[in-house]
Amino acid sequence: MNVAGGLKNTVIQQNTVVSNSLNYDCVVFDKKNACVSVSSRNTSSSADSNLNDTSGVIVGAIRPHPKLRVGLYVDQNSQSNPQGNAITISNNKPLVGFFAVWNQNADDSGIQIKLSAANGQKDTRITRPIIGTSEAGSGSTQLTSQGIQITAKYGFVVKKKGLIRPYLGMRFTENNVGKYTEASSSSVTAPLSYAGIYTNATTALAGVEFSYKFNPKFTLFASANLESDTNVTNGVISATGVSGLTPINLNSNPAKTRRSAIAGAYYDVAENQRIGLLGIYRQEPSQSESSTTAVATYHIGM
C-alpha cells in the first residue's frame, strides 16, 4: 500500500530530525555569557532519493553559571520534498526545543550531564493513488513528533590536545499522525476514514566521542554510537469505508539495535566566533534503511 509505505518513511525521517535535534548546542560565549548559532541542515533518506529535508536552524543559549548553560532552538524547514505522490508535508511550523548542560570543567573533561527536549508539528496531506478500480482519495491531518533525551558523559584529556568522552543515555520519542477522512467529490464516492497512528520508542544510548585540537583554532571530532530500543510501538494504519480492508503494520520488520556515526571539524575564526561542518550517519528503525545529515554552523559568543 503506497500510503502506508509513504507514511512509514515520512514518520521515520521526522523522528530522525527530532532525534538529531536533541544534540543541538551552543558553546561559544563571551563577556555577556550568551551564545547564538545559525546553521543550514539537510537530511536525506536511503528509503527514497526524493525524500529529504532542508532547514535553517537558530540556537540561542545563556551561561548563568560557569558550569551551566541553557538554551532554545528553532529548526525551520525551507524545503521538504514529498514522499512519492502520496505524502506532502508543509513547512509552515518549525521544530522547537530546549536544552540544559552541566559541565564539571571548562575544557569538557570530567562529567557532563545534558537534558534536551523537542516538539514539532507538520500539516500533512495524504493522497491515495489509483490502483486498479480504486479511487484517488485524499485528506489532510497533522504529524506531531516530540522527544526527550538525557546523556551523561565523562571526558578524559589525552596528551593535552585530545579528548575522549564515553557516554550513556536514554531517549524517548513519539510520533502521532492524526485521524482523518478523505474528502468526497464526484470522483471519490467512497472516501476512506483512517484511524490515528501512534509510534513511540524508548531507546538506550551508548558511544564514545573523540576530538583532537591540531592548533588553537582548528579541531577535528568524531563519534561512534550504538542505540537499542528497550520498548517500542511501531504503529498500525487502519482504514474503513470499503469492505475487505485490513490493518497494516507501519514497520513490520523493525531494527531494534542500530549504529550511527558523526564526524566533523570546527575553526575558531576569532575568540568569540566559530564555523563548523558536521556529518551524521544513522541506521534507521526500519531494516536496511539509513539517513545522512549534513550541517554547516556559525557560532558567535556575546
Tell me if 286 sits within 8 A of 251, measured CB to CB: yes
pTM for the whole thing?
Answer: 0.92
Higher-pLDDT residue of 252 and 136 is 252
Rounded Cα distance between 278 and 19, Å, is: 15
CB-based burial of residue 296 (10 Å sphere; 0-12 exposed, 13-18 middle, 19+ buried)?
Answer: middle
Residue-wise pLDDT tens digits, 28-53: 999 999 999 999 999 998 877 667 88
Of residues 13, 35, 15, the one with CA closest to residue 26: 35
Residue-wise pLDDT tens digits, 158-181: 988 999 999 999 999 999 999 988
Antiparallel, parallel or unpaired: β 162-177 and 180-181: unpaired
Return the pLDDT at 170.
98
Rounded Cα distance between 169 and 183, Å, is: 44
Rounded Cα distance between 26 and 301, Å, is: 9
Q: How confident is the model at residue 5 (pLDDT cuts 50, 70, 90)?
A: confident
Q: How confident is the model at residue 140 (pLDDT cuts 50, 70, 90)?
A: confident
Return the pLDDT at 241.
80
Residue-wise pLDDT tens digits, 254-286: 999 999 999 999 999 999 999 999 999 999 998
Of residues 265, 259, 266, 268, the one with CA closest to residue 289: 259
Q: How confident is the model at residue 133 (pLDDT cuts 50, 70, 90)?
A: low
Q: Which of 98-107, 158-167, 239-248 has the lowest mean pLDDT?
A: 239-248
Residue-wise pLDDT tens digits, 8-26: 888 888 999 999 999 999 9
Residue-wise pLDDT tens digits, 105-115: 999 999 999 99
